[in-house]
Amino acid sequence: MANNRGLAYMGPGVVEIQNIDFPKLIGPGGRKCDHGVILKLVTTNICGSDQHMVRGRTTAPKGIILGHEITGEVIEAGRDVEYIKVGDIVSVPFNVACGRCRNCKEGNTGICLNVNTVPGGAYGYVGMGGWIGGQAEYVMVPYADFNLLKFPDKEQAMEKIMDLTLLSDILPTGYDGAVNAGVKPGMTVYIAGAGPVGLACAVSCQLLGAACVIVGDLNPERLAQAKSFGCEPLDVSMDATLAEQIDNILGIPEVDCAVDCVGFEGHGHGHDAKKEAPAEMLNDLMNVTRAGGHLGIPGLYVPEDPGAKDENAKLGILGLRIGVGWSKSQHLHMGQAPVMRYHRQLMQAILHEKIQPAKAVNVTLISLEEAPQGYKDFDKGVSKKFVIDPHGSVKKPKVKEEATLEPHHN
């Protein structure tokens, strides 16, 4: 039997490579998964959601194998798998979904009713059903015929794998945020957060035809990355309100729609930019979004946050000014992105070169051995999307020049 190694969370700030069991077609609690497959990982990505756990901001237990952004080659298929074949290269939605329950049949695969004790499941994540994570050399994926997106041509897939690897989570998540915010041709958008999901959302807004995409953050390197592909950077640490800065860019102090791509570790603006204040961030989004506008909230929020600064936040309770949103007849949409709703169309957009998400999020290839350092660098705020290549099967791309940020002049 082949060996297997994976990345384990071992306590706040500690990620280790460990020898783990080679996967079997068995799920959490011993449930048989003859409908599943075993993958040899081609790529598996470090996500900001993983970083929440590694920072100790969730109730994740020590020893959990991380990773929910998975692309791999099928090396074994269960007896009930009909259409996915050994040798196929596939993208795995981070949502574990059965394809049989009411929510899955309605396309809401992010809240499957059968893969967890509560709605929704995911690989390698606390409270998401106990499915073993994919930051490893091999992983088991259940309900293969329903979940997996097969790439039509293996050679073409490997040529574009740095883009295609983003289909497992952040590109559909960013796109879902844009769709839920109601982005359409000619619209103006404000995105809170210039991390990988925020940048994936920004390039999705461009694909949807937005006239101006403003991306806010306090990290100069990430703002420079946003500017590098045509976004308007907005430094939230400046001594000005969000509305004043938007007015400086657009000539009016509001946008058509907004997207929160930060989540429960969000910060405030101006003097409060270095303080954790997710409620202030959401309230500001409602303030700067026009009456009748929509807010997409793909940023992660958790029911329990042991590292929160106050007792209410530890229970997931935030001080939202819901009356502002109500009085402006705004629509707020939050939750896991249903990856399967978008991943095939986004794959086609990549294969036909209508979108280049790897360039937008600055994909950076690393080995499994380099992954613990990748977590540390990501936690420091580097503007990179770390993609792990456990078997050395990906041809390394050319190194891009570092983006630089110049001050905005109206």
pLDDT at position 406 over 60: no
Answer yes or no: is 397 within a domain: no
Q: Distance (Å, rounded) from C-alpha 35 to C-alpha 233? A: 46
Same domain for 102 and 197, yes or no, is: no
Domain boundary among 289, 319, 334: 334
Q: Which residues contact 54 (CB under 8 A, 6 or more apart)?
A: 9, 12, 13, 14, 15, 66, 375, 379
Average pLDDT of the residues in 50-67:
93
Considering only residues 396 and 347, tell me which one the structure prediction assigns the higher pLDDT. 347
Is position 307 within any domain? yes
- Is 132 found in the same domain as 71? yes
Tell me what pLDDT residue 324 has.
94
Encode pLDDT of 291-346 as tens digits.
999 999 999 888 888 877 778 888 888 889 999 999 999 999 999 999 999 999 99
Whether residue 348 lies inside any domain: the answer is yes
What pLDDT digit, counting tens, does each position of 76-119 carry? Answer: 999 999 999 999 999 999 999 999 999 999 999 999 999 999 99
Considering the domain architecture, whether residues 193 and 116 belong to the same structural domain is answered as no
Helix (H, G, I), strand (E, B) or coil at 290: strand
Same domain, 73 and 142: yes
Output the six-digit token pair for 40.
């040899």
Domain boundaries, position 298: 172-334
Shared domain for 262 and 161, answered yes or no, is no
Which residues on adjacent β-strands are paired with residue 32? 26
153 shares a domain with 67: yes
User: 110 with 16, same domain?
Assistant: yes
SS (H, E, C) 173-211: HHHHHHHHCCCCCCCEEEEECCCHHHHHHHHHHHHCCCC
Same domain (yes/no): 183, 263: yes
For residues 273 and 347, membership in a common domain is answered with: no
- Indicate whether 402 belongs to any domain: no
Could you give the number of structural domains in the chain?
A: 2
Q: Is residue 261 part of a domain?
A: yes
Same domain, 161 and 180: no
SS3 of 263, please?
coil
Residue 404 belongs to some domain of the structure: no
The answer as to whether 400 is a domain residue is: no
Mean pLDDT on 44-56 = 93
pLDDT in tens, 171-216: 999 999 999 999 999 999 999 999 999 999 999 999 999 999 999 9
- 384 and 369, same structural domain? yes
CATH, residue 80: 3.90.180.10
pTM over 0.85: yes
User: Is residue 213 domain-resident?
Assistant: yes
